[in-house]
Amino acid sequence: MSSFVDFVVPLLNHLLARENWARERLLPFAGQVACIEGLPFPLTMTVSDTGIFRSAGADAEAAVTIALPADAPFRLLNDPSSIFGAARLSGAANFAETLAFVFRNLRWDYEADLAAVIGDIPAHRLAKTLADGVAWQRSAAERLGRNAAEFATEEAGLVTPARDLAQFARAVDQLRDDLARLEKRVSRLAA
């Protein structure tokens, strides 16, 4: 468990190192403890007096608890900013709001980190290749989903198409109206 925390806290601090605005927002909460649940292990950390995080003991009293949604790993890949929109926050409202804002707006400039290792031009090309690959994967997943939905509705008949349901609903409404008119005629004849 400590190896997980020892990996995540320095990663968060690396992201915070380039973002003065984030450290400044965290400074008023120095000494407060936040616990993030929903990861492989709960992540308990304290805001330091420089606006970065330190790992806190598991027995530390959390001022804020952030419970991530069960689909957080998928959201991280598809839409990272939506994770905190779906998370449940409890504890000190102003600290929770600040943490959510900081986490939602932190961005990793992986191209700059790559440039420090392999140079500017190769890093830019690799970052573009990675971005194109991610866009292609996302597009392929969307196409696969549309094709699966079309197969389920059109080819296999597993799901009734919306147009057939609408047509059935209109037929039921028509039958109801016809039955109401028939009841009125029968009641007039019986009178």
10-residue averages of pLDDT along the chain (191 residues): 68 84 87 80 82 79 79 68 73 82 80 82 88 88 89 79 88 94 91 75
CATH of the domain at 82: 3.30.1050.10
- 169, 99: one domain: no
Beta bridge partners of 189: none
**Domain contains 22:** yes
- If one counts the domains in the chain, the total is 2
Note the pLDDT of residue 80.
Answer: 66
Tokens encoding 28: 């008023």
Note the pLDDT of residue 170.
Answer: 95
- 93, 171: one domain: no
Residue labelled with tokens 């709960």? 42
- 99, 8: one domain: yes
**Domain contains 88:** yes
Tokens encoding 179: 């039955």
Tokens encoding 32: 């407060």
How far is it, in rounded angstroms, from Cα 170 to Cα 96? 50
How far is it, in rounded angstroms, from Cα 111 to Cα 129? 11
How far is it, in rounded angstroms, from Cα 35 to Cα 95? 12
- 165, 90: one domain: no
**Domain contains 69:** yes
Beta bridge partners of 185: none
- 16, 83: one domain: yes
What global pTM score does this model have?
0.59
Nearest to 95 by CA among 39, 31, 143: 31
Q: Residue 19 carries which DSSP code?
A: -
- 169, 87: one domain: no
**Domain contains 179:** yes
- 85, 11: one domain: yes
**Domain contains 47:** yes
- 28, 100: one domain: yes
Write out the residue range of the structural domain in which residue 92 sits.
2-105
- 100, 167: one domain: no
SS (H, E, C) 86-100: HCEEEECHHHHHHHH
Dump the DSSP string for 35-99. EEESSSS-EEEEE-TTS-EEE--TTSPPSEEEE--TTHHHHHHH-GGGHHHHSEEEE-HHHHHHH
Last residue of a domain, one of 42, 74, 105: 105
Note the pLDDT of residue 185.
Answer: 92
The identity of residue 91, as a single letter, is G
**Number of Cβ atoms within 10 Å of the Cβ of 140:** 10
Note the pLDDT of residue 32.
Answer: 84
- 11, 81: one domain: yes
Last residue of a domain, one of 79, 105, 131: 105
- 99, 166: one domain: no
Note the pLDDT of residue 184.
Answer: 92
- 12, 91: one domain: yes
**Domain contains 36:** yes
Question: CA 51: distance to chain centroid?
Answer: 25
